[in-house]
Amino acid sequence: MVLPAGLAYLLMLLLPTLAAVALAFTDYELGLWPPAWVGLGNFEEMAADRGFRSSVRNTLIYVGIVTPAAVAGGLALALLVEAGGRGRTLFRAVFFLPVVSLTVAMASAWQYLLHPTIGPLNAALRGLGLGTPFWLTSSDWVLLTLAAIGVWESIGFNMVLFMAGLTAIPRELHAAAEVDGARSAWDRFRLVTWPLLGPTTLFVVTISMIRSLRVFDTVAVLTQGGPNKASEVLLYTMYTEGFTFLRLGYSAAVTLVFLLVVLAVMWIQMRVLDRRVHYG
Amino acid sequence: MTGIAVTDLRKRFGATDALRGVSLDVAAGEFVALLGPSGCGKTTLMRIVAGIESADHGSVAIDGRDVTRLRPASRDVAMVFQSYALYPHLTAGQNIAVPLAMRHLSAWQRLPVLSRLLPRARAATRRIEDEVARTAEPLGLAALLDRRPGQLSGGQRQRVALARAVVRHPKAFLMDEPLSNLDSALRVQTRREIVEIHRRVGAATLYVTHDQTEALTMADRVAVMMAGEILQVASPERIYADPVDLRVAAFIGSPRINTLPAEADGHGLVRVAGRVVGLRLDDAVAGPLTLAVRPEDLALAERAGDAPLDTVAEHLEFLGDGLLLHARHAAPDGSPLILRAAPCARGVLPGPGARLRLCMPAGRVLVFRPDGKRVAARPLAAAHVPA
């Protein structure tokens, strides 16, 4: 029983991962065999490459916008939908729709909505007498626009997670808070809801961070990292290096950096925060 | 001065009537137990008094003030929940401090960092900590204040919940089956502690329970509730000895009170299986009746004048401090009867299958109409017993 499972794990997961790690220390390009060992050469190149640095910066900005907005927005929606009572199922389905829809397909809808001249968004802004930015083609706006789409994509998922967390809070605690003198909704939120959502929030933050770190398809479909690398993100860099320029060694090194960032996020979750949200 | 006054409360959940016009007064400083089987509406009544639930009809007054439309926070009540409902992320001390902090600190002063910077908040916080320590001390919680509820035993959590309820000296004190999650030894001990706390705090207390021992041992008065109605409110002694409804008689007492079908004849004489049992109704209306008599009031017939019941012994239970003899009335569809006797009666009581004559002292027999209501009945003088 153990042997087939172990074999599958070895063949499907461990070996490919180790191969990718090994490739990161070579100058392997597709078709050029054998690759030469370059040690930390790829990483030195990365550190010196302004394109890579801006890709890291863009990724961090994107994560820095999408994670808090999607977490706070998901929590706010969950609280509103829970408080509303009626139409709960409908709202849950509506907000969850972006999660199950295909990003690539939705991206073309966004492209139309955000089109500078024929898009309805700018038409509305024009009607209000406001400016009409080039949402996806101006380097000032493109990252914000992608972040907004990113929030739209994951807010429903977070809402569903928070709703599950809310139903797990004993109703007696809210009653106790009322009797104890928590008059305002804010008092009750601070005293009961927020602390008891701790484990859920931690999970949602981690998931949102990792999901937004992995942003790729909207960039690939809508901007291809442009204009002028203003929306270049880590995974898109990895993709272009590996599959456009066929520099698989360098691409593997980018992947390794990405992997380390994801592992660091998970480590922080497990080690530091986990202890503060579970009340033994 | 009434502590809690509840007037004609009605509440429906869908098609079921949880409360059908309930009225109840708890005097200031009085301890009233609300006793009833599960699902009788007693917890609903308590939640309406607390303001957690709203009634469809009726009013609630606390300390003479109508609070029917007020939020729980404005009612000056404290409540101990069956599940204790402690805040799991706060220590025992912080849990006890919550009602004080909510009342005496503003939202700004309650923020963890800011409260240390504002001198006013610091002074208030210190007063609150003193009050928490004063409340925790007599409950034996002084050493546990830094622990979280998850690190406390069931009994300790229960005392933290009690401390949180009494810490701000509420006008009314509500307890929802606070002992039901404790083991039996702890329950007996905590029963006494709650009564002592009540005496010290002196607030009007409404105590919901399904356990008659708790109700009878702790309360000044017991309100027996069934199917959304309060059937009787009286002292524990009267509830036991003088129930006004057959359901009250049957609910209180263990083993259950014995019941026998009977009928009243045109003269108001009570007959069991056609035989006069030495009781006369005050108003001579003929019709079916139910007699009820406590197991400890049944006895083996010795004298002819006792109007004995012919029964067949079924089996004998030894309880340590007593004996229970299970018998059956020797009539078609005879009712089961239980007799409680002292343990020394073992040799006297017959074995299974034996014929046995039991008598009920007429003065201890309770008589009920078919609708369950008690009717007044008087024992006949022995000389007047017709044949």
Residues of A in contact with B107 (CB under 8 A): 184, 186-187
B216/chain A closest Cα distance in angstroms: 27
Q: pLDDT-derived band of residue A29, with 50, 70 and 90 as boundaries?
A: confident
Tell me what pLDDT residue B319 has. Answer: 87
- What pLDDT, on a 0 to 100 scale, did the predictor assign at position B373? 92
Q: Taking an 8 Å Cβ-Cβ cutoff, which residues of chain B contact chain A? A: 47, 50-52, 71-74, 77-79, 81-83, 85-90, 98-99, 102-103, 107, 110, 148-151, 164
pTM score, whole prediction: 0.81
pLDDT at B307: 63
The answer to whether A134 touches A127, Cβ cutoff 8 Å, is no
Minimal C-alpha gap between A167 and chain B (Å): 16
Q: How far A77 CA sits from the closest chain B CA (Å)? A: 24
Residue B382: predicted pLDDT:
53
Residue B353 is predicted with a pLDDT of 84
Q: In this model, does residue A1 exceed pLDDT 70?
A: no
Nearest by CB: B148 against A173, A175, A279? A279
Shortest CB distance from A172 goes to which of B51, B81, B107?
A: B81
Tokens of B284: 């001579």
In our burial notation (b when 16+ CB lie closer than 10 A, e otherwise), range B299-308 reads bbbeeeebbb
DSSP letter string, A161-218:
HHHHHHHTS-HHHHHHHHHTT--SHHHHIIIIIHHHTHHHHHHHHHHHHHHHHT--HH
pLDDT at site B303: 62
Instruction: Give the model confidence (pLDDT) of A209-219 as tens digits.
Output: 999 998 888 88
Kindly indicate the confidence band of residue A162, based on its pLDDT and cuts at 50, 70 and 90: very high
Mean pLDDT of A173-186: 90
Closest CA to B31 of B242, B233, B248: B233
Of B51, B99, B110, the CB nearest to A180: B99
**Which residue of B77, B82, B85 is in closest CB contact with A173?**
B85
Kindly state the average pLDDT of the residues A7-25: 88
Predicted confidence (pLDDT) at residue A47 exceeds the cutoff of 90: no
What pLDDT digit, counting tens, does each position of A91-107 carry?
888 888 888 888 788 88
| Chain B positions in Cβ-Cβ contact with residue A279 (cut-off 8 Å) | 88-89, 148-150
Check CB contact under 8 Å for B73 and A198. no
Q: Which of B199, B205, B139, B196 is nearest to B171 (CA)?
A: B205
Q: What's chain A's average pLDDT?
A: 87
Chain A interface mutation, best of B44, B98, B177, B181, highest count of A Cβ atoms under 10 Å: B98
Q: Which portions of chain B are predicted below pLDDT 50?
A: 383, 385-387
CA distances from B318 to B297, B345, B346, B357 (A): 18, 11, 9, 21
pLDDT range class, residue A280, cuts 50, 70, 90: low
- pLDDT digits 0-9 by tens, A126-144: 888 777 777 887 788 888 9
Task: Choose among B202, B181, B234: nearest CA to B33.
Answer: B234
Please report which confidence band the pLDDT of residue A23 belongs to, taking 50, 70 and 90 as the band edges: confident
With bands split at pLDDT 50, 70 and 90, how would you rate the model's confidence at A119? confident
Which chain B residues are within 8 Å of A196, Cβ to Cβ?
A: 88-89
Strand-pairing partners, residue B374, are B368
Report the pLDDT value the prediction gives residue B162, as an integer from 0 to 100. 92
How many residue pairs bridge chain A and chain B with CB atoms within 8 Å of each other? 74
Contacts of B71 in chain A (CB under 8 A): 178, 183
Q: Which two tokens stand for residue B18?
A: 């949880």
pLDDT at A242 over 90: no
ipTM above 0.90, yes or no: no
pLDDT at position A183: 86
Minimal-distance CA residue of chain B relative to A188: B102
| pLDDT of A86 strictly over 80 | no
pLDDT at position A27 is 86
Question: Are the Cβ atoms of A178 and B85 closer than 8 angstroms?
Answer: no
